[in-house]
Amino acid sequence: MSNEQQPRLYYPSEEMVKNAAVSGMDAYRALCKEAEDDYEGYWARQARELVEWKKPFTQVLDESNAPFFKWFADGQLNVSYNCLDRNVNNGLGDKVALIFEADGGDVTRITYKDLLTRVCKFSNALRAMGVKKGDRVVIYLPMSIEGVVAMQACARIGATHSIVFGGFSAQALRDRINDAGAVALITSDGQFRGGKALPLKPIADEALGMGGCECIKNVVVVQRTGAACNMVEGRDKWFHEVCASQADTCEPEWVDAEHPLFLLYTSGSTGKPKGVQHSTGGYLLHAILTMKWTFDIKPNDVFWCTADIGWVTGHTYITYGPLACGATEIVFEGVPTYPDAGRFWKMIQDHKVSIFYTAPTAIRSLIKAADNTPTVHPKNYDLSSLRILGSVGEPINPAAWEWYYQNVGGSRCPIVDTFWQTETGGHMITPLPGATPLVPGSCTLPFPGIIAAVVDETGTEVPNGQGGILVVKRPWPAMIRTIWGDPDRFKKSYYPDDFKGKLYLAGDGAIRDKETGYFTITGRIDDVLNVSGHRMGTMEIESALVAHEKVAEAAVVGRPDDLTGEAIVAFVVLKGARPTGEDAKAMIKDLQNWVGHEIGPIAKPKDIRFGENLPKTRSGKIMRRLLRQLAKGEEITQDTSTLENPAILDQLKQPAG
């Protein structure tokens, strides 16, 4: 189906290649070959070089209880030690670890030494409350220094943390506390977002009062907004008070490599959230290695990942990866549109950010904002400090990629389009900035040591140029270990019998380019459309729509159709106002012709609806499963606990015009 034109390749500059950790494609291929020739030897070498072990491992990969794989199982380590003590011991004590910028603009700088002290004090406080190795601790905090401190402190004492995003409801929080059987909850009085103080503790109280949270013995509350809090005697304590009297050193708990560092419930694009369980050793290794190779982190970089610590991206690329590499990073409390939609660009300018990592949803909304309000266009800011850009979370449409490349990166910075999942722990398929020639919209090639493939329903690899199902052929160190409390669901979801339990099923569709072998993610497996016998990924049609000058964002789903099997329904957000009446009708015609011209008449959406936004998860991803119900004209009956903007569903119910 795809357009036969050869896509343009974007090559890294000579300087980028020369200085990069993985320098040039030959270096990339040599690493891949090393991994193919001696898979365990390759990962063992990385693990010995990059992680500091208390007790070195002698076993590498243990497949005896597949698919419950183990890595480095007889080794012992501590993640917080690797992130903090190790850097302080290596002379980085006075280096700035965190640059915290508050919603209102105040900036706080925390050195490695300061951070270690704060983490030790809170670790001691948790221990004093009786929290011990293996206990689960739920963290329900906004983006904050304390959020990072709380995660690191859990890691230090061997408690398994589970972060619940600060935008989630009481019900969602209650369900996650209950599922994890957590003994402590760390929250705050409230949070600042977009100039407003929002309550958090009252939501936590509501969750704890719902029944099913009796496991929680201690609630620690960070003072942020100063809002009055109902503190339950004997259970609730202020963070600053419990830390005040504690010693500023704390012996780490040395844990086995397989010890669960954290649980994280997935974002819920496709169904009921599941508690993804991660390990300690393998996870840390992948966090470090991807920081070094995908982001090419260097001592002078200022790294900024805009994700929230409530998502896996905020775990691997805020709390763990950058700190384990001794980097300086930004932690941002606010939102990209406050005080105006130039906030990201202003912060890059102010802090001289050199590596910037964000999501397509943010880019698309900032394109729309810059089109409507020229003063917030990135060209008004000095972004010359940037050297590498990244994208994560959804496929990035080629049109958005080009805008990001030209307007933010000054046509100078490689974009690493990193494909990965909560379950994978870190990047799986991604360009390396000083090696991989880029193609907009493609996540290019697997990270060295990741053996990915595209297969058909029987698990047989399909030829390049033919779409199929994305799988990973060998277990990798940072992979999900199980679903908390539900090993059967783990097996069924990720190592299904269809593939004889041998292939990791990502749940995404992909196609590899005939010439380059590059991977392009075509959408979730459920999102493949079949129109009159033609199989199409929703992503391709969405990208065609977004390439239209008036379109900001689009989502495409299928609806059963008597004539064609499936009919294409497109939900579209325009850059300007939402059209109605005759305007909407004219716009629909225009868009249908556009898609017909870009891809082919078969891809023309039959039904197009306009909204001011699309239904999104709280991590900013389009919830196509809800759109599928709307397209069929059904009432929404599915789980909407992770939906950010329920009101938008009404707008999208009716066909436009």
Q: Which residues bind ligand ATP (CB under 6 A)?
A: 266-270, 273, 312, 391-395, 417-422, 443, 506-508, 521, 524, 621
Q: Which two tokens stand for residue 198?
A: 């929002």
**CB 570 to ligand ATP: min, Å:** 19
Nearer to ligand ATP, 283 or 594 (CB): 283
**CB 626 to ligand ATP: min, Å:** 12
Length of the chain: 657
Ligand-binding site membership of 422 (annotated): yes
Ligand-binding site membership of 194 (annotated): yes
Ligand-binding site membership of 304 (annotated): no
Nearer to ligand ATP, 188 or 391 (CB): 391
List phi, psi (to 5°) of 431: -70, 155
β pairing state of 328-332 and 302-305: parallel
**CB 54 to ligand ATP: min, Å:** 31
In sequence order, what are the residues at sequence separation of 6 or more whose Cβ sits closer than 8 angstroms to the Cβ of residue 270? 507, 524, 526, 625
Nearer to ligand ATP, 82 or 522 (CB): 522
Nearer to ligand ATP, 117 or 269 (CB): 269
Contact at 8 Å (CB) between 79 and 86?
no
Ligand-binding site membership of 535 (annotated): yes
**CB 424 to ligand ATP: min, Å:** 8
Ligand-binding site membership of 313 (annotated): yes
Q: Which two tokens stand for residue 631?
A: 């397209």
**CB 621 to ligand ATP: min, Å:** 5
CA atoms within 13 A on the CB side of 79: 37
**CB 258 to ligand ATP: min, Å:** 21
Longest Cα–Cα distance in the chain: 73
Return the exposure string of 448-467: e unless at least 16 CB atoms fall within 10 Å of the residue's CB, then b.
bbbbbbbbeeebeebeeeeb
Contact at 8 Å (CB) between 539 and 522?
yes
Ligand-binding site membership of 45 (annotated): no
CA–CA gap between residue 123 and residue 149 (Å, rounded): 9
Helix 39-50 and helix 281-293, axial crossing angle in degrees, nearest 10: 80
Q: Which two tokens stand for residue 140?
A: 């329900």
CA–CA gap between residue 286 and residue 620 (Å, rounded): 25
β pairing state of 275-278 and 262-265: antiparallel
Nearer to ligand ATP, 378 or 509 (CB): 509
Q: Is the dihedral of CA 577, 579, 582, 588 positive or negative?
A: positive
Ligand-binding site membership of 196 (annotated): yes
Nearer to ligand ATP, 87 or 522 (CB): 522
**CB 329 to ligand ATP: min, Å:** 20
**CB 486 to ligand ATP: min, Å:** 14
In DSSP notation, 38-86 reads: SHHHHHHHHHHHHS--SB--S--EE-TTTTS-EESTT-EE-HHIIIIIH
Ligand-binding site membership of 33 (annotated): no
Ligand-binding site membership of 156 (annotated): no
Q: Which helix (H) or strand (E) holds 570?
A: strand 565-574
Q: Which two tokens stand for residue 6?
A: 């050869």
Ligand-binding site membership of 17 (annotated): no
Nearer to ligand ATP, 189 or 394 (CB): 394
**CB 657 to ligand ATP: min, Å:** 32
CA–CA gap between residue 557 and residue 83 (Å, rounded): 43
Ligand-binding site membership of 418 (annotated): yes
Ligand-binding site membership of 420 (annotated): yes
Contact at 8 Å (CB) between 450 and 432?
no
- 329 three-class SS: strand
Nearer to ligand ATP, 199 or 507 (CB): 507
In sequence order, what are the residues at sequence separation of 6 or more whose Cβ sits closer than 8 angstroms to the Cβ of residue 15? none
Nearer to ligand ATP, 420 or 499 (CB): 420
CA–CA gap between residue 4 and residue 243 (Å, rounded): 62
Side chain identity, residue 229: C
**CB 310 to ligand ATP: min, Å:** 10
CA–CA gap between residue 537 and residue 539 (Å, rounded): 5
Nearer to ligand ATP, 79 or 506 (CB): 506
Ligand-binding site membership of 551 (annotated): yes
**CB 394 to ligand ATP: min, Å:** 5
Ligand-binding site membership of 419 (annotated): yes
Nearer to ligand ATP, 393 or 398 (CB): 393
Known binding-site residues for CoA equal 193-196, 313, 532
Residues at the annotated binding site? Answer: 193-196, 313, 393-395, 417-422, 508, 524, 532, 535, 546, 548, 551
Q: Residues at the annotated binding site for Mg(2+)? A: 546, 548, 551
Binding site for ATP: what residues are annotated? 393-395, 417-422, 508, 524, 535
